[in-house]
Amino acid sequence: MTMPLLQTRALTRRFPGVVALANVDFAADGGEVHAVCGANGAGKSTLMNVLSGTILPSSGSVSVAGQEVSFASPADARAAGVSIVYQEFSSIPELTVADNIYLGREFHGPLHTVDRRAAVRAAGVLLERHGIALDANAMVGSLGVADRQLVELARALSTDARILILDEPTAVLSIAEQEKLFGVIRSLREKGLLVLYISHRLEEIFEIADRVSVMRDGALVATRAKADLTETELVRLMTGREVSAPHPPEPIPAGSRTVLTLSGLATDGSAVELRQGEILGLAGLVGAGRTSIAHRIVGLRPRSGFTAALDGAPLPDDPARVLEAGVVYMTEDRKRDGIFGPLAITSNATAAALKRFSSAGFLRLRRERAAAGEMLRGLRLVAASLDTPIASLSGGNQQKVLFARALMTAPRVLICDEPTRGVDVGAKEEIYGVLRRLAGEGVAIIVISSELNEVLALSHRIAVVRDGRITATMDNAGLDEHSLTVAATGVALRSAQG
């Protein structure tokens, strides 16, 4: 048997009070896409940080192509052929693709001036070699997210990487953009590179990976060929317990009244109605206008072109009044307009319902705390204390606090935008449970999600969104991912594919 390209032996990393990596024996070969998955805190980030030279291991060894290596810095790792592409973009929009690829490693002409022409030439060769369709002279700011991701990738490759680590590369990509990225990844595999692929999204792992390594609580629990693995099995390995397969939602109780009516939003002119206890899924590509519909319903954007009515009465325009009326929107981007980062869990949970916990402007702190505690226990929040700043919680727990905030207002209509984004598998199931329970209690729910199986698992009905309007509404019976994809992408994609 040949020597694996990358191998770790008994790799261990301790942090005060935690063993983030415990005796990890990991091996991966050139010419494969090797997915590394695990719940939040399983240790995959620590492993990648050790492999890319960001942190030092406490003990154990790493070898590349049989040579034992010790990376004191990311530069050491790059020199040995290991490059990492992080989730967040670090490219500079005001510079060209070539300038970004060689950022910090510029080509110099005489008099130490920057030789941009040499950079463009080298970038052109690099992009061509790896089959990346980008213009080296294009401004990065003018590129879409997928192309910006490719710039990051090209930068990682420009150091003659043999091992490329991709950390959640598709977090911000639409389905079509994802395909473009996967095309590049496959061509890298052809060229014999090892691609370590970290992702939360199981569908993706099954699409792109050759082998899958699963981490849990700092240990490597299994490495399997994709062919020997089912999705259920993978989830079991990640969580260490059986997760029930998504079951279809309970039927809506007979005699449920219509709560929300959206007129003028459907392309066929019919009104879209939402009943008590009903979950309506909004499916569509990223950029199809799902979030825009949600924003327009709750008044965050002008409600041009359609009207919204709650119990037959028109919904106010002002977001605060919409919230008061009982229509609550939960953001897709927790960090941007969800969490109050430095503030305690309690303050975060009660923010939208402070009036309930005050009289004459004075806060009733004990009552507030008791209510927040009860609500969060019901949501199975995991936290050391309610005084912990919310920013220190995992994505799933932050989302539970945001659910608590929404539920504190006793909503009649709840609009959840990507409710499980950045949430690990276990917490995901819990959030599905919460949504189903709420529907059972008579709350009308709209779920927006890029994950089709999520929409399919939760919704009674599914509305397909294109260009900010609803092009079709169907009952969730006999639908599968394929038929939904066809509906969501429609003729446009089919004709584009020829």
The Cα–Cα gap between 301 and 289 comes to 12
Judge whether 164 and 196 are in contact, CB under 8 Å.
Answer: yes
Please report how close the Cβ of residue 20 comes to another protein at its closest, in angstroms.
9
| Residue 378 makes contact with another protein by CB under 8 A | no
Report phi then psi at 281, rounded to 5: -90, 135
Residue from 264, 287, 389, 490 in contact with another protein (CB under 8 A) = 389
Residues from 321 through 340 that contact another protein (CB under 8 A): 323-324, 329, 331, 336-340
| Residue 122 makes contact with another protein by CB under 8 A | no
| Residue 25 makes contact with another protein by CB under 8 A | no
User: Residue 434 burial by CB count (10 A; 0-12/13-18/19+): exposed, middle or buried?
Assistant: buried
Counting other chains too, the contacts that 186-193 makes at CB distance below 8 Å and 24 or more residues apart are 186/33, 187/130, 187/131, 188/130, 188/157, 188/164, 189/31, 189/32, 189/33, 190/31, 191/130, 192/30, 192/31, 192/162, 193/30, 193/31, 193/161, 193/162, 193/163, 193/164
Q: Which helix (H) or strand (E) holds 320?
A: helix 319-325
| Residue 365 makes contact with another protein by CB under 8 A | yes
| Residue 394 makes contact with another protein by CB under 8 A | yes
Please report how close the Cβ of residue 171 comes to another protein at its closest, in angstroms.
16
The Cα–Cα gap between 280 and 455 comes to 9
| Residue 90 makes contact with another protein by CB under 8 A | no
Report phi then psi at 389, rounded to 5: -60, 140
Q: Count the site residues for another protein by CB under 8 A.
A: 45
| Residue 19 makes contact with another protein by CB under 8 A | no
Please report how close the Cβ of residue 361 comes to another protein at its closest, in angstroms.
5
- Segment interacting with another protein (CB under 8 A) among 75-83, 276-284, 388-396, 426-434: 388-396
Q: Which of these, 314, 318, 293, 312, lies nearest to 304 by C-alpha position?
A: 293
Letters for 38-77 (x = contact with another protein by CB under 8 A, - = none) are: --xx---x--------------------------------
**Positive or negative CA dihedral for 123, 190, 3, 57?**
positive
- Segment interacting with another protein (CB under 8 A) among 92-100, 172-180, 382-390, 452-460: 382-390
Judge whether 80 and 71 are in contact, CB under 8 Å.
Answer: yes
Helix pair angle (395-408, 365-378), 10° resolution: 120
Q: Which residues pair with 33 in a beta bridge?
A: 195
Residue from 156, 163, 166, 352 in contact with another protein (CB under 8 A) = 352
| Residue 319 makes contact with another protein by CB under 8 A | yes
Shorter beta-carbon distance to another protein: residue 6 or 330 = 330
| Residue 410 makes contact with another protein by CB under 8 A | no
User: What's the gap between Cα 493 and its chain centre?
Assistant: 23
| Residue 241 makes contact with another protein by CB under 8 A | no
- Segment interacting with another protein (CB under 8 A) among 61-69, 307-315, 319-327, 490-498: 319-327
Amino acid at 67: Q
| Residue 198 makes contact with another protein by CB under 8 A | no
| Residue 256 makes contact with another protein by CB under 8 A | no
- Segment interacting with another protein (CB under 8 A) among 81-89, 135-143, 163-171, 374-382: 374-382
Judge whether 139 and 94 are in contact, CB under 8 Å.
Answer: yes
| Residue 391 makes contact with another protein by CB under 8 A | yes
Please report how close the Cβ of residue 384 comes to another protein at its closest, in angstroms.
5
Tally of helices (H runs) and strands (E runs) in the chain: 17, 22
Residue from 108, 129, 257, 355 in contact with another protein (CB under 8 A) = 355
Give residues in contact with another protein (CB under 8 A).
17, 40-41, 45, 300, 319-320, 323-324, 329, 331, 336-343, 347, 351-352, 354-355, 358, 361-363, 365, 373, 376-377, 380-387, 389, 391-392, 394, 405
